[in-house]
Chains A and B, each alone.
Chain A
Amino acid sequence: MATTTITINGQPHDVDVPPDMPLLWVLRDVVGLTGTKFGCGIAQCGACTVHLDGKPARSCVLPMSAIGGRQVTTVEGVGATPIGQKVQQAWLGVEVVQCGYCQSGQIMSAAALLGRNPAPDDAAIDAAMAGNICRCGTYPRIRAAIKHAAGLKAENV
């Protein structure tokens, strides 16, 4: 065990955890940020998606030792960014959410997508979002909401 400092949503946190411990459990069980969800533990469902320096990462398989000095952003903090805020508003405006358990990860993946591609087409949305499972079946609305957040007309969704 060693004390490590990680920056989450702009705030430094000193945590005393083993280096192989995935970021997911540090967030949820040590820091107390439970918005990031446990879904599968093997990077298959995307519910645990966070940003490392703005890029999406599956925190359930991301060991603390791999984070280094990179900034961690979670669903609790993404709304402080203009893109994150737009995505959250679009999610509500299009009424994407049902049970909501996967939506933290969906929103993080979508915000990362819009961060690198401000006008994604369907193929770009598929490529960026196919790692996030939703068992409520909100996929058509996720597609529409991403286009809405991008300021694109959501056609034929």
Chain B
Amino acid sequence: MPTRAHGPIGGGPIARPAYGVLEPEDLSTASRRRFLQAGAFMFGFAALGHAGKAWAQGHSQGEEPSLQALNTGGPDTGAAFDGFAPGGFIRIPREGKITFIIPSVEMGQGIATGEAMMLAEELEVGLDQIQIEWAPPNEQLYSQPILKSQATGGSTSTRGAWGPLRQAGAAARTMLIGAAAQRWNVPPDTCFAERGRVYSRSNGQSLPYGALVAAVASQPVPQNVAVKQPGHFKLIGRSLQRIDTPAKVNGSAQFGIDVRVPGMKIAALEICPVQGGRLKGFRDNGARQVPGVVDVLRIENAVAVVADHYWAAKKGLEQLDLVWDNRGREMISTDRIREQLADGSANGKPIMGRKAGDADAAMRDAHSSVEAVYELPFLAHATMEPMNTTVHVRPDACEIWVGTQAPTAAQAAAAKVLGVPPEKVILHNHLIGGGFGRRLVAESITQAVQFARQVPYPIKVIQSREQDIQHDLFRPAYHDKIAVGLGPDGLPTVLTDRITGGSVLGNYLSAGLPQGAIDSDAIEGAAETPYAIPNVLVDWVRKDAPVKVNWWRGVGPAHNVYVVESFIDECAHSVGCDPVEYRRAMLKANPRSRNVLNIAAAKAGWGKPLPPRTGRGISLHDSFGSHLALVCEVHVTPAGEVELRRLVAAIDCGQTVNPNSVVAQIEGGVVFGLSAALFNGITFTNGRVDQSNFNDYRQIRINEVPPFEVHVVQSTADPGGVGEAGTVSAAPALNNAIFAATGVRLRKLPIDRTLLADKNAGDAVLAAAVPLGLGAAALAMMPREGREDAA
């Protein structure tokens, strides 16, 4: 039995996961390489609102679409499968490895391993006995029950898979045991399965699953088979090594951008720098004379130079004088958008989000009150892998190679461009080099198809980093006015939050979000807090900025919890109460949140003395079915630079599937959120995005990330989501730590270091405050050896 190297150890209520080294026995072996080679698959049409049968209802008799889907799913799903395929997730051949069809998309979160563990647990096989393929196109089979679409996002994958995948494994195991029992003429309950074999307790015989395939292949799949109770898990809850990582350390992993297909050319492009503008025309000063350039293509709002390699394409692009028609969109500016949001907050028509009790009366009767306005900027995703799509439009079909979080939506988008049915679009999905919501949107795929349809050969369209950042669909900017009325004990009797910003959800609804309808994402994290506050009024003023927006890691809670948790901190300080004590007093009816709050505070040494201008901040939220507390410790230099000193998180996400992946997601999510809070905001001047690359849209670096502890509460409650929880915690914990260190309450992101300089530190230091922040960034960007060799 493999040893447990990470996560809950020793049976106590709390584990302190450390970066132990996984034992070799924990490695699943050959499956990894097979999985990464089998990166291509094809999807059916995505229709919001239709839960797939495999997910929602288990697998019923004669559900042949699974086999059909597999057999027509493109070059990598193989020829007609001769074996046992009970539903969409499991294929057992007569000989050789079992294949698991993984319904979610792997973008770093470790879901391929987690979903394989759910199937393996109930099927009674080891991860070393299986290989993995991505789900083929089929909304019927693979529509995710929470998102109701074949997509990966919103920290829903583990929650969505938890029931259906274990059920699928249990049903298949039950059938195999039944077939063996029949063959031996013994009662099924005298048999058991282990590591891909059925054993008889009565006659001592055993048979491998492959030998039972013929007997079960045409049998009906049983429904509602009992799954294992916690305490009986062999794999679930153990830190097994991820199956996708070996190919990611030796360069063999194939991301979308790595695709090379015969005859393929590479396209570099320039998109109208003003969103909504279009290409009026261009003068070609010799693009086609650049060696390697084969074509210059245009679409309504962009031009592409196509060449044998990206460098020639980029050089060719430099030979074009582009003339844009900005269609009056130069008016867009950050100042103007901020004014419009503020105006909307004051004068707009709010849409009710949540109302509990009587907020007006409670506010009138309050002993005292606190009110504040918080502002959040637009944010780009800046995934490490720039947006890219490879497309071949042939007379008979369109073939696409890409990494997407929403494969059926991507397929539909391509089909729409071409005016063909979706099944004419063969979409090969790939490992994703960072999603964070960016790759839920098919816009770059639409664009690539618009170019590719003009040429007979396949083209790989690569957005430069500058294009990737400037033409992202951003997390919306917000203007939120939040207030509480406090009782005589200083605790809130009423909370109101007027949220003003655009709708993301509307972009995902075919007819848009109707005017007057609430966007649940806009209020998530504010409408429901962990705290017992009897009167609540959370509403939303819809103010769609003239800028395309999209979900960003942490979605609604990443926006609202920053506001609520910063503000709760303000409330605590306003009545002279310790922020942890204050929160605890509101958590009497929320034991799971109270528990993580207590653990994080205790492990972080909350209340222990710190040096001057050093402080701890805490944040707490219940999001995605999980409960997470984070303590951030910072030191603020006299010049106002913020140095992270320590991070301590405690999470209760119910039953963990792979605890080490939980820890990794909390670490990564928090670092992602801190990076944005410390550095990021997309701004507009004359309709153009001011930022362009990692020099001016800079990201946190290793020298800026402190020691990090994650404590995972052992639980057998249903799993919660974890991929975005850490991001939600980051900004408010940082904000509250800065206040603890300096006494300065920041209410706008990213943090403004000029407000944090030590007023007593002298003019020289103050003058240096702004450049220091940038200077540190510049220093970090180019280590000595890189500078020397790259220059």
B 706-720 contacts with A by CB, 8 A: 707-708
Docked Cα-Cα span, A154 to B707, in Å, equals: 11
Given A93-B22, A130-B701: A44 in contact with B431 (beta carbons within 8 A): no
- Number of cross-chain contacts by CB at 8 Å: 242
Kindly state whether residue A157 has any CB partner on chain B within 8 Å. Answer: yes
Q: CB within 8 A of B670: which of A34, A38, A94, A137?
A: A137
Can you list 25 pairs linking A and B with CB atoms under 8 Å apart? A34-B257, A36-B251, A41-B464, A41-B693, A43-B786, A46-B786, A56-B785, A57-B789, A62-B789, A95-B6, A95-B664, A97-B249, A98-B108, A98-B110, A99-B108, A100-B108, A101-B383, A109-B783, A127-B784, A129-B783, A131-B701, A132-B702, A133-B694, A135-B699, A145-B19
Expressed in whole angstroms, the minimum distance between the Cβ of B690 and any Cβ of chain A is: 17
Kindly state whether residue B589 has any CB partner on chain A within 8 Å. Answer: no
Docked Cα-Cα span, A93 to B707, in Å, equals: 19
Residues on B lying within 8 angstroms of A by beta carbon are 6, 19, 21-22, 27, 107-110, 241-242, 244-246, 248-255, 257-258, 260, 266, 291, 308-312, 382-386, 431-436, 462, 464-465, 660, 664, 667-672, 675, 693-695, 699-703, 705, 707-708, 779-786, 788-790
Contact A135 B382 (CB under 8 A): yes
Complex interface: chain B residues within 8 A of A138 (CB): 664, 667-668
Expressed in whole angstroms, the minimum distance between the Cβ of A85 and any Cβ of chain B is: 10
Docked Cα-Cα span, A112 to B254, in Å, equals: 24
Complex interface: chain B residues within 8 A of A40 (CB): 465, 693-694
Contact A55 B785 (CB under 8 A): yes
Contact B693 A94 (CB under 8 A): no
Complex interface: chain A residues within 8 A of B109 (CB): 98
A 67-116 contacts with B by CB, 8 A: 74-76, 79, 88, 90-95, 97-104, 107, 109, 112
Complex interface: chain A residues within 8 A of B433 (CB): 37, 99-101
Complex interface: chain A residues within 8 A of B462 (CB): 38
Docked Cα-Cα span, A140 to B707, in Å, equals: 7
Complex interface: chain B residues within 8 A of A45 (CB): 384, 694
Complex interface: chain A residues within 8 A of B431 (CB): 99-100
Complex interface: chain A residues within 8 A of B107 (CB): 99
Docked Cα-Cα span, A39 to B245, in Å, equals: 20
Contact B784 A156 (CB under 8 A): no
Contact A95 B660 (CB under 8 A): yes
A 131-157 contacts with B by CB, 8 A: 131-145, 148, 154, 156-157
Kindly state whether residue A47 has any CB partner on chain B within 8 Å. Answer: yes
Expressed in whole angstroms, the minimum distance between the Cβ of A79 and any Cβ of chain B is: 6
Q: CB within 8 A of B251: which of A26, A34, A44, A58?
A: A34
Question: How many residues from A make CB contacts under 8 Å with B?
Answer: 81
Docked Cα-Cα span, A9 to B432, in Å, equals: 26
Contact A137 B668 (CB under 8 A): yes
Would you call the interface of chain B mostly helix, strand, loop, or mixed?
loop
Contact A137 B705 (CB under 8 A): yes
Complex interface: chain B residues within 8 A of A25 (CB): 309-311
Expressed in whole angstroms, the minimum distance between the Cβ of B705 and any Cβ of chain A is: 4
Contact B785 A140 (CB under 8 A): no
Residues on A lying within 8 angstroms of B by beta carbon are 1, 17-18, 21-22, 25-26, 28-30, 32-47, 49, 52, 55-58, 61-62, 74-76, 79, 88, 90-95, 97-104, 107, 109, 112, 125-145, 148, 154, 156-157
Expressed in whole angstroms, the minimum distance between the Cβ of B461 and any Cβ of chain A is: 13
Expressed in whole angstroms, the minimum distance between the Cβ of B672 and any Cβ of chain A is: 5
Residue among A32, A33, A104 with the highest chain B CB neighbour number at 10 A: A104
Residue among B6, B434, B708, B785 with the highest chain A CB neighbour number at 10 A: B785
Docked Cα-Cα span, A25 to B308, in Å, equals: 11
Expressed in whole angstroms, the minimum distance between the Cβ of B702 and any Cβ of chain A is: 4
Other A-B pairs beyond A29-B309, A93-B22, A127-B703, 16, CB < 8 Å: A22-B311, A35-B250, A37-B385, A37-B433, A57-B790, A61-B790, A92-B246, A98-B109, A99-B108, A99-B383, A100-B255, A101-B434, A103-B249, A139-B705, A140-B19, A157-B707
Residue among B107, B248, B384, B702 with the highest chain A CB neighbour number at 10 A: B702
User: Across the two chains, which residue of chain B brings its CB closest to A22?
Assistant: B311
Contact B245 A100 (CB under 8 A): yes
Contact A88 B699 (CB under 8 A): no
Complex interface: chain B residues within 8 A of A57 (CB): 786, 789-790
Complex interface: chain B residues within 8 A of A132 (CB): 701-702
Contact B783 A103 (CB under 8 A): no
User: Across the two chains, which residue of chain A brings its CB closest to B383?
Assistant: A135
Complex interface: chain B residues within 8 A of A17 (CB): 309, 311
User: Across the two chains, which residue of chain B brings its CB closest to A59?
Assistant: B790
Expressed in whole angstroms, the minimum distance between the Cβ of A16 and any Cβ of chain B is: 9
User: Across the two chains, which residue of chain B brings its CB closest to A105?
Assistant: B384
Docked Cα-Cα span, A20 to B257, in Å, equals: 23
Residue among B19, B242, B244 with the highest chain A CB neighbour number at 10 A: B19
